[in-house]
């Protein structure tokens, strides 16, 4: 008895959570709308054919029972299908969907088909026929639309009670009364079982889709977070943490990239080597924290030069920086150098975050410009620029071209 109760409970239980129940019903109603639109067209075509055949074959007995009732049933089905087609077509274009109307008329639609097919089969019994139309209607309602188990049970019970109650008025003495009661009753049970299985399968599909969507969103979030972390790690691996400029490794990569690009295009490549004047004195007088602040301030000024197209700013080492200027002539490089040198001089003004105004910050710069050829090397290009820098350092706050 307990197992039977559990089985009945499982048949009518919802697998979908209360939170997702409305979206699930909405999906079911959308599926039902699509199916109703096709089914109504099929019935309209079928009833027009049946009505035409009926008028042609039964023209002598059109107003005699049971042909009169057959004709009325064909017209009734045709009219009902036109009405349902119009209603569901109208509702399918409304936003939001009128779900209550769709559910109610969906039940009316299926119940009408069951009652209509039962009536046609009852009429067939008067001529010694079988309840085949009713059986087809039972199977059709069980396999096409989606209904909650309780809803479909009420529809099947209502239609079958009607069939059984009216059956005695249509069966003939020569008719197979037992078979025409038992067989449709078995098909009621079978069709309802199919309807329940399909409904629960639809529930499971919906739940699985929600799980997949949830997992996909989580996976997407993890991927996005990983991308952010990877970008951060890449940035950390490429930049100097103190100044925000490229590190020495990236300088080597950028100078190679710029060298080969200018070698191929035969355009000028300029390199600036920059050193902070009296940086050791600053460290000795104010400490390494002051030196770090000085490097940050100078790095900020140099980074402003990166607004120039094809510019890469790197911390070369210690208090030394390098700026790579692709497709930049010596004249253009000197103009950039003058702007940088003057901006660094301004670091002693009170507006600057540099807290040691008594120490005048200046830089010395070596400039080298080349149009690379196969005979030239990057190492020699850097060495010449470094020599120009050391010549400038002897003068302080100046630049020297190689």
Note the pLDDT of residue 168.
84
What integer pLDDT is reported at residue 351 of this predicted model?
A: 44
pLDDT digits (tens, 9 = 90+) for 91-118: 888 888 788 888 888 899 999 999 999 9
Rounded-to-10 torsion of CA 107, 113, 119, 125: -130
Indicate whether 1 pLDDT > 70: no
Q: What is the pLDDT of residue 60?
A: 83
Asked if 364 and 393 touch (Cβ cutoff 8 Å), the reply is yes
Q: Residue 133 above 70 pLDDT?
A: yes
How far, CA to CA in Å, does 235 sit from each of 227, 231, 239, 247? 12, 6, 6, 10
Over residues 18-32, mean pLDDT:
79
Contact call for residues 30 and 103 (beta carbons, < 8 A) = no
Residue bearing the bigger pLDDT, 223 or 308: 223
- Under the banding of pLDDT at 50, 70 and 90, the label for residue 267 is very high
- In this structure, what token pair is assigned to residue 380? 């020699």
Structural domains of the chain in order of their starting residue, each with its CATH number:
7-217 (no CATH), 248-401 (3.30.70.270)
Give me the pLDDT at residue 372, please: 93
> Which residues have CB under 8 Å from 291's CB, separation 6+?
279, 282, 283, 319
C-alpha to C-alpha distance for 139 and 261, rounded to whole angstroms = 74
Higher pLDDT, 348 or 332: 332
pLDDT band at 203 (very low <50, low <70, confident <90, very high): confident
pLDDT at 14: 66
pLDDT category at 36 given cuts 50, 70, 90 is: confident
How confident is the model at residue 101, as a pLDDT? 86
Rounded to 5°, angle at Cα 350 from 349 and 351: 95
pLDDT category of residue 32 using cuts at 50, 70 and 90: confident
- What local confidence, expressed as pLDDT, does residue 210 receive? 84
Question: Is the model more confident about 4 or about 367?
Answer: 367
């Amino acid at each position: 008895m307990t197992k039977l109760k559990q089985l009945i409970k499982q048949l009518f239980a919802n697998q979908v959570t209360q939170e997702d129940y409305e979206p699930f019903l909405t999906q079911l109603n959308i599926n039902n709308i699509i199916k109703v639109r096709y089914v109504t067209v099929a019935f309209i075509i079928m009833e027009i054919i049946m009505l035409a055949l009926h008028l042609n074959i039964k023209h002598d007995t059109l107003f005699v029972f049971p042909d009169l009732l057959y004709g009325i049933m064909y017209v009734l089905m045709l009219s009902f299908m036109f009405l349902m087609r119009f209603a569901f077509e109208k509702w399918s274009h409304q936003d939001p969907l009128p779900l209550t109307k769709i559910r109610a008329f969906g039940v009316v639609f299926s119940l009408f088909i069951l009652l209509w097919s039962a009536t046609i089969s009852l009429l067939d019994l008067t001529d010694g026929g079988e309840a085949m139309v009713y059986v087809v209607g039972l199977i059709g309602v069980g396999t096409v639309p989606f209904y909650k188990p309780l809803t479909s049970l009420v529809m099947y019970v209502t239609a079958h009670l009607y069939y059984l109650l009216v059956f005695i008025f249509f069966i003939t003495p020569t008719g197979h009364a037992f078979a025409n009661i038992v067989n449709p009753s078995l098909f009621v049970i079978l069709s309802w079982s199919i309807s329940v299985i399909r409904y629960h399968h639809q529930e499971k599909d919906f739940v699985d889709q929600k799980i997949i969507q949830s997992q996909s969103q989580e996976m997407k979030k993890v991927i996005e977070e990983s991308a952010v972390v990877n970008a951060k790690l890449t940035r950390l691996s490429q930049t100097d943490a103190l100044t925000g400029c490229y590190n020495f490794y990236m300088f080597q990569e950028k100078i190679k990239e710029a060298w080969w690009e200018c070698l191929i295009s035969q355009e000028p490549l300029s390199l600036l080597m920059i050193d902070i004047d009296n940086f050791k004195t600053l460290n000795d007088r104010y400490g390494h924290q002051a030196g770090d602040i000085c490097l940050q301030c100078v790095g900020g000024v140099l980074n402003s030069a990166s607004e120039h197209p094809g510019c890469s700013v790197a911390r070369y080492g210690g208090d030394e920086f390098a700026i790579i200027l692709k497709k930049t002539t010596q004249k253009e490089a000197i103009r950039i150098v003058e702007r940088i040198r003057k901006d660094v001089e301004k670091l002693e003004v009170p507006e600057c975050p540099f807290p040691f105004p008594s120490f005048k910050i200046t830089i010395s710069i070596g400039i080298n410009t080349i149009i690379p050829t196969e005979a030239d090397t990057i190492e020699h290009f850097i060495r010449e620029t470094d020599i120009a820098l050391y010549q400038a350092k002897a003068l302080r706050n100046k630049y020297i071209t190689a």
